[in-house]
Amino acid sequence: MKRPTMILWLSLIGALVAGGLAAAEESAEAILNKIDENRVSGNKIILSEMIIHGRRGSRSMRIKSWILGTEKSFSEYIDPPRERGTKMLKLGDQLWTYYPASDRVILIAGHMLRQSVMGSDLSYEDMLEDPNLSGNHEARASGEETLLGRPCLVLDLEAKKADAAYTTRRLWVDRERYTVLKEELFARSGKLLKTTTVESVRRFGGRWLPDRVLFKDVMNQGQGTEFVVHEIEFDAVIPDAVFSKAALKK
């Protein structure tokens, strides 16, 4: 029997490597789907707290949010008294804000989308971002690390749309719970823009979800904005009237 030629060996090795890479790509895409399944749900009501760690100290706001899938959400600031009654309505790719002090409803559009939300590290553009990762990104596995004592797979994501707010991002994903424990967001130039670091995870209604997260705009001089989730009610009954501009002034 003739020995395989070098060309044949290289062909075989190439096929094996290509097959391995394809499997890795499929695995990364499957993980994105599981992340979405875990964190994106139908109707829910969330009671949360936003703590802004600025240069001159920290301030806290409590928020109640009504959410329907990924297209509709309504949020109301319930504390402190100075911010109480401020409301935000998201319908698809449109966002309105109501300020009780001026009794005005403002459509957030154009350059305003890049402005900070209530002085936080979060922009209005971040609020409008589609939370579904799998449909908007190509993914590949790039390593493994341990965070919060949990084994994580590192995924590099590339946005499918040219006008995406963040062209690339890197995720650290809990391999068992499919919870994102860390995220880095990059501009097209490769410059790091924002980071998200999960500080703790909690079980809500059968799902493992972050309940304390630090969001940091690297251009800001503060210590970041902390989000604390106190309660989540899944499969909540929410009247359609909640998701209307009329509800902003009620």
Q: Would you state the pLDDT for residue 211?
A: 96
Domain count, the chain: 1
Tell me the C-alpha distance between 197 and 50, whole Å.
15
| pLDDT of res. 45 | 96
| 194: in domain | yes
pLDDT, position 195: 98
Let me know if residue 213 belongs to a domain.
Answer: yes
Catalogue the E-assigned strands of 205-244.
207-217, 224-234
- pLDDT, residue 3, reads 47
HSE at residue 224, side-chain half, CA atoms within 13 A, is: 15
Question: Domain of 26: which CATH number?
Answer: 2.50.20.10
Whether 150 contacts 182, CB under 8 Å: no
Give the per-residue pLDDT at 21: 36
Domain annotation covers residue 48: no
Q: How many CA atoms lie within 13 A of 113 on its CB side?
A: 13
Question: pLDDT band at residue 41, thresholds of 50, 70 and 90?
Answer: confident
> If phi over 0 gives left and psi between -120 and 50 gives alpha, with beta otherwise, what is residue 224?
left
The string of DSSP codes covering 173-205 is EETTT--EEEEEEE-TTS-EEEEEEEEEEEEET
pLDDT 10s digits, 76-123: 999 999 999 999 999 999 999 999 999 999 999 999 999 999 999 999
67 pLDDT higher than 80: yes
Q: pLDDT tens, 121-147?
A: 999 999 998 888 998 999 999 999 999
Structure tokens, 245: 């501009």
Which domain does 16 fall in, by range?
Answer: 1-39+130-219
Share of the chain above pLDDT 70, in %: 90
Instruction: Give 169's DSSP letter.
Output: E
User: Dmax of the chain from CA atoms?
Assistant: 89
Q: What is the pTM of this model?
A: 0.84
Handedness of CA 238, 120, 223, 179 (dihedral sign): positive
Pairwise CA distance, residues 209 & 23, whole Å: 28
State the pLDDT at residue 240. Answer: 94
Q: Is residue 185 part of a domain?
A: yes
Tell me what pLDDT residue 171 has: 97
Mean pLDDT computed over 215-227: 94
Residue 154 in domain:
yes
Instruction: Taking residues 185-195, report their average pLDDT.
Output: 96
The answer to whether position 174 is within a domain reads: yes
Q: What pLDDT is recorded for position 131?
A: 85
Domain contains 27: yes
Determine the pLDDT at residue 15.
34
